[in-house]
Structures are given as C-alpha cells and as structure tokens.
C-alpha cells in the first residue's frame, strides 16, 4: 500500500489540508495512478469516479485556491464541473473544458477569479466578453485553441475597455490572429500591461508599432514568445510613464502641487 499513498496520489495530497499547498496541479501521472489503483480508490474514498473523489476531497480542504489540469480530460459529466466550480477558486485552468467553465462561472456568479485560462474558446465570445466586464477581480486571461470568428473577437476586444485585465495571452490558434486584432487590442483603452500573442503568420510589425505609440499602458509585449527590437523604445517609455504615474498618485513621493503634465516631458 506504500505505492498507493505516494505523491502521485493527488487525493491524499489534498486531504492533508496543508496551508502551504494552495496550487493544485493535476497531471497525467495522477490520472494514471488512479487507473492503476482504481479498486483501492473506490474502496478507500467510497466513490466510483476520479472527478467525484476529487470534488469531495476538495470539500475537506480549506486552502487550495488554484486548480490546473493538463493534457487529459478528467470529468465524466459537465455537471461535475459545475460542482467543482462552486468552490471559490482564484485561478482556474481546466484543459478542454473552456465552454463549460465560462457557462458555470456565470451560473454560479463566481466573479472572484483572478486568473482564468480557457481552452477551447470556440463560439462563446459573447459569454467571455460578458464575464470580462462583470468580473472586476480578473487580472490575467489566457485564451487557447481559439476559433477566431470575427464576432468572437470584436465582442472580446470591446469588453477589454471595461475590464480590470492586466495580462492578456492569446495562445495556439486554429486560424491566423490577424493584424487588425492585435492592433485593436493595443488601441483599446484598457488596463492591459502585458500582452502575449501567438501568431503563426508574422503580422506587420510596423502597424503594431504605430498602434503602440499611442498606448502608455503596455510594458511587456511578445509575439510567439519573442521580444521585438522595434518595440523596445516604446515599452521603455511606457515603463517610465507607469512609474511616474504611480509616483504622482502617491502624494508622499510627489507633492500634490506637481501635476503629471509637468513631468510628462521627462518621459516622452
């Protein structure tokens, strides 16, 4: 029974209720361990499926606030995802359940999620846009395996203006992330500071640079996980601007009588 209680038994790790164990990452090793010892799992935890055992274990844990599943669907029924998401997670990434996640986050009115990864995005751009607007806790959004229908994109981009997002990542796409999509995201009057794009078709960097010139918020920007020299000067300018803005807000650093307009010439 020693192997059954190894680190690959993720249920036992959850049931320890360790206050330092807040990030739950379920890997293929954990799933394989369940299938090797499925009889013991059902006998000891008195349940029939891994997802129900997982949900019941989480109900006995007070500290886990982040969940990530990798490369392997683990839920037998969508209803079990709803049961899982009744827990107020701060960070959610359930591989291949993007559509169900956004549906149930709306249904349970969970607007406390700070980091959300959705895969796939598919045709539910309207629900994603609504969630972006309504969840004022959301700081990091990752959209993966995306069918970039134009209506999807336009709705999501429009919602950015009313969001609290600081980091937006567009990962692997079935179709090209067109140039206008990247430029429109940059031009949107949002709080986004980090923008990461996966682009298989290498968009026009000059168009992006023109869009960035009028954006003072983005301080970190990668395309295909690569920094481009064309943007370095603008990103450095924006970093100085954000520092200056913070100093002006904090009146203990910059006296109230000094306005941001007086300091801008030293940044631009």
Q: What is the pLDDT confidence band of residue 243, given thresholds at 50, 70 and 90? A: confident
Spatial distance between the Cα atoms of 232 and 238, rounded to a whole number of angstroms: 10
Bridge partners for 157 per DSSP? none
Q: What is the pLDDT confidence band of residue 246, given thresholds at 50, 70 and 90? A: confident
Average pLDDT over residues 163-184: 80
Task: State how far Cα 255 lies from the chain centre.
Answer: 37
Residue with tokens 């609290």: 164
DSSP code string of 97-152: -HHHHHHHHHHTT----SEEEES--TT-HHHHHHHHHH-TT--EEEE-SB---HHH
End-to-end alpha carbon distance in the chain: 66
Neighbours of 216 (CB within 10 A): 17
pTM: 0.88
Q: With 90 as the cut, is the pLDDT of residue 261 above it?
A: no
pLDDT digits (tens, 9 = 90+) for 40-88: 999 999 887 899 999 999 999 999 999 999 767 788 888 899 999 999 9
Spatial distance between the Cα atoms of 88 and 99, rounded to a whole number of angstroms: 18
pLDDT digits (tens, 9 = 90+) for 110-168: 899 999 999 887 778 899 999 999 999 999 999 887 666 677 788 999 999 999 999 99
Task: Cis check for the bond before 120: say yes or no (omega within 30 of 0).
Answer: yes
Spatial distance between the Cα atoms of 68 and 92, rounded to a whole number of angstroms: 6
What does R_g of the chain's alpha carbons equal in angstroms?
Answer: 22
Q: Residue ranges per domain, the chain?
A: 1-102
Spatial distance between the Cα atoms of 268 and 264, rounded to a whole number of angstroms: 6
Q: With 70 as the cut, is the pLDDT of residue 265 above it?
A: no
The contacts of residue 38 (CB under 8 Å, 6+ apart) are: none
**Do 95 and 119 touch, CB atoms closer than 8 A?**
yes
Whole-number pLDDT of residue 244: 83
């Amino acid at each position: 029974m020693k192997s059954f209680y190894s680190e690959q038994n993720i249920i036992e790790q959850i049931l320890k209720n360790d206050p330092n164990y807040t990030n739950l990452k379920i890997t293929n090793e954990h799933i394989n361990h369940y299938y090797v010892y499925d009889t013991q799992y059902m006998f000891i935890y008195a349940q029939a499926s891994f997802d129900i055992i997982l949900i019941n274990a989480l109900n006995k844990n007070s500290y886990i606030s982040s969940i990530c599943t990798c490369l392997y669907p683990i839920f037998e029924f969508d209803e079990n995802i709803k049961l899982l998401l009744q827990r107020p997670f701060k960070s959610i990434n359930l591989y291949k359940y993007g559509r169900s996640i956004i549906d149930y986050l709306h249904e349970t009115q969970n607007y406390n999620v700070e980091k959300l990864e959705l895969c796939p995005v598919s045709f539910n751009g309207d629900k994603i846009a609504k969630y972006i607007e309504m969840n004022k806790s959301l700081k990091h959004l990752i959209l993966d395996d995306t069918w970039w229908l134009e209506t999807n994109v336009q709705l999501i981009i429009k919602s950015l203006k009313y969001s609290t997002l600081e980091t937006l990542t567009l990962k692997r796409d079935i179709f090209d992330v067109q140039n206008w999509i990247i430029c429109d995201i940059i031009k949107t009057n949002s709080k986004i500071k980090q923008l990461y794009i996966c682009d298989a078709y290498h968009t026009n960097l000059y168009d992006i640079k023109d869009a960035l010139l009028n954006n003072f918020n983005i301080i970190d920007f990668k395309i295909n996980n690569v920094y481009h020299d064309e943007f370095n000067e603008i990103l450095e300018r924006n970093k100085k601007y954000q520092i200056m803005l913070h100093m002006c807000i904090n009146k203990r650093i910059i006296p109230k009588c000094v306005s941001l307009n007086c300091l801008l010439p030293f940044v631009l």
